[in-house]
Structures are given as structure tokens and as C-alpha cells.
Amino acid sequence: MTVIAVCALTAYVAQRAVAVFNDGVRPFLLDFVRGRSTRGAVATVSFGLSAGFVFGLGAPLALATGVLNPWLLFLPTDVLGLLSPKRWLAALSGAAWGAVVVFGLAGANRLAHKLPVDFVTAMQQMATPILYLFTLFPVLAVTRQFGRLSGAVCGVIELALVVTALKLWPKAFPGSVAMAAGVLLLTGLAVHRDLVQRRRADRGRAATKQEPRADRNSDAAPMTGLFRAGATRLRAHLALFMLLGAGMCLLASTHVYAGGEAGAFLIADGRYGAAAQVDFYRALGFIPLIATTALASGAYGVAGFTLVHPVGYLLPGPWPAAAAGAATLAAEVTALSWAGRALGGLPSVRDSSEHLRCAIAQTLDLALLFGSLTAANAMAGGLGILLAGGLYLSNEAMGRPVARMAAAPAAVISAGVVLNVLSWLHLFTPAPR
């Protein structure tokens, strides 16, 4: 019932162009709100940007972990909400999708386990590559922004922390401490660079006795006005965002839902504290993108800065989770204008978040590919690798009709279907379970 209610709510807010999950759709909502674009056109854009992730990432990840995720739940509710001409129809269609996911996933799991080739169990092999390679994203971000030496230092620190954690706390996820150290190092380097550059600029102005020109920020005035209008529109829907935050945090507290790829495997394993850490660090990479697109378009993310996910994992019951989620999204919406100004004054910190986001995508691309090939090997050895790897390479050769991050998990499921057909035709004998 929680899933159905939250899906209904997310479709409702999408219909009103107040919030969507897909960051790529949000910039198009400004033209729709101003009447320069039609509902059907925006829904078409949303479907085009979302379909590959729903069936290539959201569904395989849910099957592999038994834990729901936002790609499976909220990318479709974006499309359904934007397509619906009436608010009640949007809520009803969102609720229907939530019911399809809840009952359909359970049925799909039962069916998959009865097949000759159980590709769902094989896909659990994806967990280790995703969890451990995801640990390295701060190293990649530091290297991209501050060079090889800083990246090497960050890598050595993370490796030492992982080895230490494996030795001293074998039951805990060793990547949590390493990721924390890497993100702190990246943030510290970015703040230090901004402070040094600010001091140099102040000394330069003092040396030349330069006065600030009155028209120095004249070029930024239109963008400032746009941001102000976006912040005003979002604050006008504060009560709706508080309800949305309560629902998202409540859903996360049930531990049947996770906000990220690595977090889903940790939630499935019962490591809620580690999942909260991983998703918190993941959220840091998307805060600048969400903040700027929200201020520019007047539409927020259905999970805000996604901080409601780690908060929800850690809370013991529904009422604390609902209250904390409402407070979290209310604080985010209220502070959006300040966040926009702060990011404008800290260019290196803003850039570090962009590097974090790119590093997360890069590590997950490799982790999902490696994990998918491992799952294919568990299904059928070399034949499984041939099928899954061949489908992935075909997608690359055809110009990636399916996004790279979603292509590998989709290839595993497709390979599993082919292997079951071959088994029924007595052309392939699965390994005994």
C-alpha cells in the first residue's frame, strides 16, 4: 500500500509539473509551464529518456535484489503523470503502476526460480563488483579534478582503509569508511582551492585599488530572475513537497526500496547503516545538478536531493520516518535559493560534485558490465558470456539505443531468456542446482 500511495503521489506531482524523477526531463518543464510546449511533447521526451533505464536497469536490479528502486517505480510515473490530462487520472494511473510493480515483481521472481535457467539467482553475482568498484568513485573524482598525484594519494588511503576494515570488522561493509575518507578529501581540496583563489582575487583588487563595477553582474541578472521565479514556485507547493518527502522516507524505512544501485544490494543483505552511507555519498554528486535545474525550471526532484533515502533507512518506524521526510524536503525547498547562491560562490566545490557524478556513472558502468558477465558465466559458462557480451557489444555498435549503464543488466536477462528457450528445445543443458 505504501508503494501504491507513493506512486500515485509522484504521478500527481508530475502531472502538475511540480516534480519529476528524471533529471533530464526537468529542463523541458519550463516551456510546458509557460505554455510553449504541449503535455504530449514533454511526455514523449520523458518516455524517450526513461524507457531504457526502466527495462534495462530498474527491472533487472529489482529482480536481482528483491528490492524496489526509483528507476522502476518513478520513471514510469513521470511519463504517466505528464501524459494525464486530469490530476485524478494521473494519481489513479500512478497507483495502478505501483500495484503492477508490487504484484508483478513477486510473480516474476516465483516464475524465474522455476525456470531451467534461473537467471535471477545468477544476477546476484552482480553484488560484489557493484559494491567494491563503487567504493572507488571518490578516487576517480579527485584524479579528474586535482590530478594524478592527488588521485594516487586518495587511492592509497582508500585501499588502506578497505584492507583495515576487512581485517578488523569482517562483517561490516569495508567500503563505507573508504568512501567517507575519499569524499572528505575531495571536499577539503575543493574548499582549499576556492579559499586560495578568493584570497588571491582580494589581494589583486587591493593592489590595484579596483572598485567593483556596477554592471559586473548585469549579464547574470536574467538568470538570477529565473532562479528567483523558480524558487518562488517551489515554495508555493511546500505542503505538497512535505507530503512527498514523508512518503519517500516512509517507503525507504520499509527496506523494500533503495535509492541507488549499491544501496539496493546492501538493503537486500540487511546492512542498512552501510546503505545509508553509500546513498548519502551518492547524493552529494547530484545536489548541484538538482538544485540548478530545480531553480531554473521551477520543478523539483520527487526525492529532492535524495537525502530522504539514507534518513529513511536508519529510522525505526513509520511515524518517525514520515516526520523526518517531511522536515527534510521542507528544509531543502526552503534552502534552495541559498544553495544556488552558495554553489555560485564555490566554483571548485560545484565542479567537484560534477566530477563525483561522472565518477559514479563511470564506476557503475564498469561494475554493471563486469557483474553482468559474471552472472552470465554463472548461468551457462562461456555460452552465457557469449550471449550477454554479444548483446552488449551489439548495443554499442548500434549507437547505444539502450543506455550503457542499462545495457549490461538487460543483456543478462535477454541471455537468460535465450538460454531457457534453448533448454526447452534440448539444445542446452543447464548445470544442476
Task: Please state the separation of Cα 403 from the chain's center in Å.
Answer: 14
pLDDT value at position 216?
Answer: 45
Name the least confident of 67-81, 156-170, 212-226: 212-226
Which range among 115-124, 170-179, 407-416 has the greatest average pLDDT? 407-416
List, for residues 303-319, the tens digit of each pLDDT value.
999 999 999 999 988 99
196-205 contact pairs (CB < 8 A, 24+): 197/348
pLDDT value at position 406?
Answer: 87
pLDDT value at position 219?
Answer: 44
Which are the contacts of 144, defined by CB distance < 8 A and separation ≥ 6?
A: 151, 355, 358, 359
CB-facing half-sphere around the CA of 173: CA atoms within 13 A: 27
pLDDT at 411 over 60: yes
List, for residues 282-291, the tens digit of each pLDDT value.
887 778 778 8
CB contact at 8 A, 67 and 258:
yes
Name the least confident of 73-87, 179-193, 240-254: 179-193
pLDDT value at position 210?
Answer: 60
Q: Return the amino acid letter for 188.
A: G
Task: Please state whether beta strands 300-301 and 19-20 pair in parallel, antiparallel, or not at all (unpaired).
Answer: parallel
Nearest to 302 by CA among 153, 108, 105, 82: 82
Residue 257 DSSP SS3: strand
CA dist., res. 168 & res. 433, Å (int): 35
- Tell me the average pLDDT across 393-415: 90
CA dist., res. 200 & res. 192, Å (int): 12
List, for residues 90-126, the tens digit of each pLDDT value.
999 999 999 999 998 888 888 888 889 888 888 888 8
The cell for 152 is 594516487
Burial tier of 123 (Cβ tally within 10 Å: 0-12, 13-18, 19+)? buried
The cell for 128 is 560484489
> Is the Cα torsion angle 82, 60, 367, 312 positive or negative in sign?
positive
- Specify the pTM: 0.84
HEC string of 322-339 equals HHHHHHHHHHHHHCHHHH
pLDDT at 78 over 80: yes
CA dist., res. 160 & res. 141, Å (int): 18
pLDDT confidence band for 297 (50 / 70 / 90):
confident
pLDDT confidence band for 211 (50 / 70 / 90):
low
Residue 68 DSSP SS3: strand
The cell for 145 is 579534478
Nearest to 331 by CA among 369, 349, 292, 304: 304
Nearest to 279 by CA among 292, 266, 293, 294: 266
CA dist., res. 407 & res. 384, Å (int): 15
- Tell me the average pLDDT across 136-148: 93
The cell for 353 is 560534485
CB contact at 8 A, 245 and 328:
yes
pLDDT value at position 433?
Answer: 65
The cell for 361 is 556513472
306 backbone φψ class: left, alpha, beta (φ>0; ψ -120 to 50): left
CB contact at 8 A, 8 and 253:
no
pLDDT confidence band for 76 (50 / 70 / 90):
very high
CA angle, residues 272, 277, 280, in degrees to nearest 5 = 120
pLDDT confidence band for 173 (50 / 70 / 90):
confident
With a pLDDT cut of 70, the percent of the chain lying above it is 95
Name the residue with cell 514556485: 233
pLDDT value at position 225?
Answer: 56
CB contact at 8 A, 38 and 53:
no
Name the residue with cell 551518492: 282
> Is the Cα torsion angle 200, 206, 208, 210 positive or negative in sign?
positive
The cell for 178 is 573508504
CB contact at 8 A, 329 and 304:
yes
pLDDT at 342 over 80: no
